[in-house]
Amino acid sequence: MQGLFFEGDTGVRSVIRLIVVLIGFWTAWRSGKAAADGWSDYPIVIGYSVLLAAAMQFLHHALFDGPVLSV
C-alpha cells in the first residue's frame, strides 16, 4: 500500500506541494469572491469551478507526474 496516496517526499517536493496547495486555495478564494462580488449566476460559478479544477489537475500532472484525467 505504500505509495498509493503519497510518494516519499523530499524537502523540495514538500515545498512545491505546499506552493501548489497555496495557489489552489488562493485561486479558489479569488474566484469565489469574484462571483460573489459580481452577483454572478450559477453557470458562471460552475465555469469558475471547472476551470479551477482543470488548472489544479494540470499542475498535479505536470509537477508530480500524476494522472492527466482523474476523478
On the question of pLDDT at 26 being above 50, the answer is yes
pLDDT beyond 60 at 56: yes
Percent of the chain residues topping a pLDDT of 70: 82
Please tell me the pTM assigned to this model: 0.61
What pLDDT is recorded for position 35? 81
- Span 28-52, pLDDT tens digits: 898 888 888 887 678 888 888 888 8
| DSSP per residue, 21-69 | HHHHHHHHHHHHHHHHHTT--HHHHHHHHHHHHHHHHHHHHHHH---SS
Residue 71's pLDDT is 65
